[in-house]
């Protein structure tokens, strides 16, 4: 059964003073699997991101983002810790006006263990032989340092899989290095680094409008585009030309999650063969639907 849920507009959230209004969250919790559209987060102030609030409320600790460019031998899967790091207390920092501003970063043993296990289980079950652990442990010694240590403790349980440490600044460079980037397979990262580097990876695939993501927990699963609400496109009158591919890739991931791999494959093949080419969203959707119909 498909159930539409409204109420995550910025207007409704600001009016109620909640990142996710209570009545909307109650409706969301009646569903096991969710396909979520992009939401807007105000700059500054204390209004938390709806995404962050939902990930915490539903305990969606694993953000999984695949990126593939077959003709360049790129087949990457990113496992981003989704409920800790800079995001868990990002709207609750301390400010002494004119003197000091301070935000917080959180790393816990159970939080890191479960995202590490998710990454290594994926690697084991999908024939992968290496996991890149990406941090800034040489500088963020308490949080990133502990994240790396815990990941290596989990890695010891998977003797056939190599665990490599990389610093986030070097990894951002390696992703655009055509000589070495195809050697990477699975990435394991804290929250903020995962957010940033997966956008870079998606750009190599064709742009942030081409990549979907899964937010997975032990009870709920939420699928969404990796980008936000693109207010610049609306402000400049280009909203009709937004590329819906990212949300459609997320829909494909959802279909696989609920064991409809045949339908996911139809959608993926259509997305692979029907270019967006700057078309309107409606024009692109019409061509995509036509391509899917021809393959059935």
pTM strictly above 0.85: yes
What pLDDT shows up at residue 209? 79
Burial of 206 (0-12, 13-18, 19+ CB in 10 A): middle
Q: What is the per-residue pLDDT across 277-295, written as a single tens digit (0 to 9) for each?
A: 778 889 998 999 998 887 6
CB of 163 closer than 8 Å to CB of 155: yes
What pLDDT shows up at residue 24? 95
Burial of 192 (0-12, 13-18, 19+ CB in 10 A): middle
Packing angle between helix 261-273 and helix 245-257, nearest 10 degrees?
160
What pLDDT shows up at residue 208? 82
What pLDDT shows up at residue 191? 95
- From the list 148, 123, 154, the residue with the least C-alpha distance to 135 is 148
**DSSP state, residue 169:** H
Res 90 pLDDT > 80: no
Res 65 pLDDT > 90: yes
User: Helices (DSSP H) in 38-161: which residue ranges?
Assistant: 50-57, 109-125, 143-155
Q: What is the per-residue pLDDT across 132-168, written as a single tens digit (0 to 9) for each?
A: 999 999 999 999 999 999 999 999 999 999 999 999 9
Mean pLDDT, rounded, for 193-220 = 92
What pLDDT shows up at residue 176? 96
Rounded CA gap, 24 and 153, in Å?
Answer: 39
What is the average pLDDT value for the chain, to the nearest integer?
92
CB of 146 closer than 8 Å to CB of 107: yes
Res 47 pLDDT > 80: no
What pLDDT shows up at residue 1? 79
131 pairs with which residues across the strands? 163, 186
Res 45 pLDDT > 80: no
In sequence order, which residues have a C-beta less than 8 Å from that of residue 48 and are 6 or more positions away? 19, 41, 90, 91
Taken in order of first residue, the domains within the chain and their CATH numbers are 33-41+49-227 (3.40.718.10), 230-296 (no CATH)
């Amino acid at each position: 059964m498909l159930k539409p849920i409204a109420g995550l507009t910025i207007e409704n959230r600001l009016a109620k003073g909640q990142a996710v209004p209570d009545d909307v969250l109650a409706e969301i919790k009646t569903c096991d699997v969710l396909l979520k559209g992009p939401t807007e987060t105000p700059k500054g102030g204390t209004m938390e991101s709806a995404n962050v609030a939902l990930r915490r409320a539903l305990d969606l600790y694993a953000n999984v983002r695949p990126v593939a460019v077959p003709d360049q031998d790129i087949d990457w899967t990113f496992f981003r810790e989704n409920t800790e790091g800079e995001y868990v207390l990002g709207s609750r920092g301390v400010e002494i006006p004119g003197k000091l501003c301070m935000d917080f970063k959180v790393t816990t043993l159970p939080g890191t263990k479960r995202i590490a296990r998710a990454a290594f289980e994926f690697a084991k079950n999908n024939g992968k032989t290496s996991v890149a652990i990406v941090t800034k442990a040489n500088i963020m010694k308490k949080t990133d340092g502990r994240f790396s240590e815990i990941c290596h403790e989990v890695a010891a349980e998977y003797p056939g899989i190599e665990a490599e440490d990389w610093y986030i600044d070097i990894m951002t460079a390696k992703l655009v290095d055509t000589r070495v980037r195809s050697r990477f397979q699975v990435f394991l990262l804290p929250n903020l680094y995962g957010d940033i580097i997966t956008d870079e990876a998606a750009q190599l695939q064709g742009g942030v409008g081409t990549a979907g993501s899964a937010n997975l927990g032990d009870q709920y699963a939420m699928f969404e585009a990796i980008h936000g609400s693109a207010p610049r496109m609306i402000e400049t009158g280009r909203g009709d030309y937004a590329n819906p591919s990212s949300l459609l890739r997320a829909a494909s991931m959802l279909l696989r999650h609920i064991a409809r791999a045949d339908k996911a494959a139809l959608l993926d093949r259509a997305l692979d063969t029907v270019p967006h080419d700057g078309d309107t969203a409606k024009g692109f959707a019409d061509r995509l639907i036509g391509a899917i119909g021809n393959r059935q």
